[in-house]
Amino acid sequence: MTRGKIVKSIAREVLGSRGVEVWSRLELIGDIAVIKKPIKTSLTLEDFKALGEALARKIPGVKSVWLAVSPVASPYKTRSYVHLAGEERAWTIYREHGCSFKVDITRVFVTPRLGYEHLRVASLTGRGEVVVNMFAGVGVFSIVIAKISKPRAVHSIDINVDAYNLMVENVKINGVEDIVIPHLGDAARVVEEKLVGVADRVLMPLPDLALEYAPYALKALKGPRGFIHFYLHMGMDKKREFLGKAVDIVKSKVESLGWSIPNANSRVVRKVGPGLAQVAVDALVEKTG
Ligand SMILES: C[S@@+](CC[C@H](N)C(=O)[O-])C[C@H]1O[C@@H](n2cnc3c(N)ncnc32)[C@H](O)[C@@H]1O
């Protein structure tokens, strides 16, 4: 049975016919399970607590269950939660691609749904490269790249002090102190002050700011050529024309800044809402003139 079907079947057992109102998505982050509160629901907090108790009992390895009661919000991309069952503990160790990450789901952004994307970008990163990750969170992307691709350095920036502190711990936990360099602050300011002209590759895993901060990604690049991974939110259409549109949007932004894009690919990273996708645009950029 898929995880979604398990949630649905437990919801039916606990809540009877009202169980249909429960969303099937359940995120497992280490030993913490997260379910989402539907925007409109007749279910009470007591109903969700009863469901949480059953999930903690029936899903192997789950020690704590939380209800996400708000969408992900800027600037730190965190959500509000209510504890439902099990240990009242929001921190856990999340594992991905052989690396371990200390996270606190109430204070930092983390989702297992980016796992494949981390691996994909790591596989594109060359040995000895210098990478700048402008929106690094607790360092998952940066540390997976450091472990898998053996870059020379990954400069890892985040503005959220809790994410930065956990990133510093995670760098130690994974033994990549000689590669991953955490920076606390606004990515634009950190690039301007410390990272102009250092990078072969720049990551911008924050759709809210990827286009606005494009000038700083370009400034971080070492030479007249480099790679930038842009992430955008795009409305989806049946013919998948949005993938081409995402490339066009990035191209016109980069061209307006005096650079060109000789080569770019785009792909859906994950669905983030009804008809809405997070799209990655991998761009080879070149300074014009
Ligand atoms: C979507 S999360 C990053 C996810 C992470 N790269 C991963 O793969 O798990 C975006 C991060 O950008 C950070 N952020 C938001 N505004 C920022 C800014 N102006 N400069 C640097 N970091 C920022 C947030 O605190 C958040 O941790």
- Token pair belonging to 167: 């990133």
Give the integer Cα–Cα distance in Å for 149 and 28.
27
Based on the fold, state whether residues 41 and 151 are members of the same structural domain. Answer: no
Instruction: Read off the pLDDT of residues 216-247 as tens digits, 9 standing for 90 and up.
Output: 999 999 989 999 999 999 999 988 999 999 99
Judge contact between 137 and 168, C-beta under 8 A: no
Residue 158 CA to ligand 1 center (angstroms) comes to 6
Residue at a domain's end among 56, 89, 122: 89
Final residue of a structural domain among 24, 55, 89: 89
Say how many domains are in the chain.
2
Average pLDDT over residues 67-85: 94
List the CATH number of the domain containing 263.
3.40.50.150
- 157 and 235 in a common domain: yes
Question: Can you list the pairs that 55-58 forms with residues at least 24 positions away whose Cβ atoms lie under 8 Å?
Answer: 55/7, 55/10, 55/26, 55/84, 55/85, 56/85, 56/86, 58/6, 58/10
Query: Which protein residue has the closest C-alpha to ligand 1 atom 3?
Result: 137
In terms of domains, do 132 and 27 share one?
no
Tell me: do 64 and 115 sit in the same domain.
no
Q: Is the pLDDT of residue 70 over 80?
A: yes
Residues in contact with ligand 1 by the CB-under-6-Å rule are 75-77, 109-110, 114, 135-137, 140-141, 157-160, 163, 186-187, 205-206, 209
Residue 189: the pLDDT is 98
- Amino acid letter at 97? H
139 Cα to the center of ligand 1, angstroms = 10
Q: Do 47 and 157 belong to one domain? A: no
Asked if residue 192 is part of any domain, the answer here is yes
Distance from residue 135's CA to the centre of ligand 1 (Å) = 4
State in Å: Cα 137 to ligand 1 middle. Answer: 5
Q: For the chain, give the percent of residues with pLDDT over 70.
A: 100
Tens-place pLDDT, residues 77-118: 999 999 999 999 999 999 999 999 999 999 999 999 999 999
Same structural domain, 44 and 138 = no
What CATH number is attached to the domain comprising 30?
A: 3.30.300.110
CA of 111 to the centre of ligand 1 (A): 12
Range of the domain at 167: 108-287
Tell me the pLDDT tens digit for each residue of 241-285: 999 999 999 999 999 999 999 999 999 999 998 899 999 999 999
Confirm if 102 and 117 have CB atoms less than 8 A apart.
no
Mean pLDDT in residue range 113-131: 97
63 and 162 part of one domain: no
pLDDT band at 289 (very low <50, low <70, confident <90, very high): confident
Looking from the CA of residue 74, the nearest atom of ligand 1 is 15
In a shared domain, residues 159 and 261: yes
Please name the residue that has the structure tokens 């790591």: 122
Check whether residue 113 and residue 252 sit in a common domain: yes
Average pLDDT, the chain: 96
| Token pair for 235 | 């409305």
SS3 194: helix
